[in-house]
């Protein structure tokens, strides 16, 4: 994470430096110093770190899967909302309006209980793990957000661009693919990153339906150790971990925004 703070305007550089030092310096430092002062605490923490790390890898996995799935579906839904035929447009509009306004936790609970715990494919019983259900829940939410981002981006392209493609003999789909969507990518990256980072934070909700992720792991650990100071330190570790997951996304967003403001 080598930040080129020199490129950013002064105030942003300053605030991001403060933020970065809290996330990457203050929180880890607190954990390390506390562990050294009370070595019994440090010993417990070292023992539990691999368990917490295995939980955190689940958060990363869910984030990546949900954002990938949500983006793919969202772009498609966004374009469907702009289709000239009502039977394409209407289902997409209904989907987006329903799920855009649903809380993430509700969707995760819904997918957990709606989908079976295993599925039968050609006589074989395949497990349908809870984390996949959480992925679907978050993907549904992010797809609805991203559909709106895509729709907004396409509509923000001046109609003269469509006219120019028409004059050159582009079909509607060719115009979308070669001229309109490439311009949309630039415009919709910052809001897309917002969705991505809120999905990253939303993965912690999966602990509530029993997915073994970081929050779940921290709760397990604190129940097992039964020490107040350990519980506090464990959740500081959780915070620091989420920070390292979201900070790069937020950072990248800001940098892209700056670039587009300049260009």
* Binding region for another protein (CB under 8 A): 160-161, 163-164, 166-172, 174, 178-179, 182-183, 186, 263
Taking the complex as a whole, the smallest distance from the CB of residue 169 to another protein amounts, in Å, to 4
* Contact between 52 and 45 (Cβ < 8 Å): no
With tokens 């979308």, the residue in question is: 176
First-last CA distance in the chain: 25
Buried b (16+ CB within 10 A) or exposed e, 110-120: ebbeeeeeeee
Closer of 51 and 170 to another protein (Cβ) = 170
Pull the structure tokens for residue 5: 């703070």
Closer of 128 and 260 to another protein (Cβ) = 260
DSSP H/E element including 127? strand 124-127
Taking the complex as a whole, the smallest distance from the CB of residue 182 to another protein amounts, in Å, to 5
Closer of 125 and 178 to another protein (Cβ) = 178
Is residue 168 helix, strand or coil? Answer: coil
Closer of 33 and 168 to another protein (Cβ) = 168
Closer of 91 and 182 to another protein (Cβ) = 182
Taking the complex as a whole, the smallest distance from the CB of residue 190 to another protein amounts, in Å, to 16
Distance, CA of 59 to CA of 249 (rounded, Å): 15
Taking the complex as a whole, the smallest distance from the CB of residue 54 to another protein amounts, in Å, to 43
Distance, CA of 235 to CA of 218 (rounded, Å): 7
Closer of 17 and 166 to another protein (Cβ) = 166
Taking the complex as a whole, the smallest distance from the CB of residue 83 to another protein amounts, in Å, to 14
Taking the complex as a whole, the smallest distance from the CB of residue 171 to another protein amounts, in Å, to 6
Buried b (16+ CB within 10 A) or exposed e, 128-160: eebbebbbbbbbbbbbbbbbbbbbebbeebeee
């Amino acid at each position: 994470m080598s930040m080129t703070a020199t490129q950013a305007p002064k105030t942003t550089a300053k605030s991001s430096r403060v933020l970065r030092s809290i996330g990457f310096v203050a929180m880890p430092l607190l954990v390390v110093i506390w562990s050294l002062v009370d070595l019994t605490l440090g010993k417990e923490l070292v023992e539990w770190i691999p368990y917490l790390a295995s939980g955190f890898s689940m958060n990363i996995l869910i984030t990546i899967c949900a954002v990938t799935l949500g983006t793919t579906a969202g772009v498609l839904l966004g374009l469907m909302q702009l289709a000239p035929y009502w039977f394409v447009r209407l289902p997409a509009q209904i989907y987006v309006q329903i799920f855009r306004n649903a809380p993430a936790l509700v969707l995760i609970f819904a997918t957990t209980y709606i989908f079976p715990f295993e599925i039968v494919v050609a006589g074989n019983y395949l497990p349908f793990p809870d984390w996949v259900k959480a992925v679907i829940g978050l993907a549904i939410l992010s797809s609805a957000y991203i559909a709106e981002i895509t729709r907004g981006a396409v509509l923000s392209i001046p109609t003269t661009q469509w006219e120019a493609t028409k004059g050159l003999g582009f079909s509607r789909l060719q115009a979308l693919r070669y001229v309109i969507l490439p311009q949309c990518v630039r415009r919709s990256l910052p809001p897309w990153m917002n969705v991505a980072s809120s999905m990253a934070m939303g993965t912690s909700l999966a602990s509530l339906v029993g997915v073994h992720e970081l929050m779940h792991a921290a709760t397990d650990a604190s129940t097992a150790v039964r020490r107040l100071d350990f519980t506090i330190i464990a959740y500081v570790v959780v915070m620091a971990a989420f920070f390292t997951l979201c900070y790069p996304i937020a950072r990248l967003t800001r940098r892209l925004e700056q670039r587009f403001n300049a260009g």
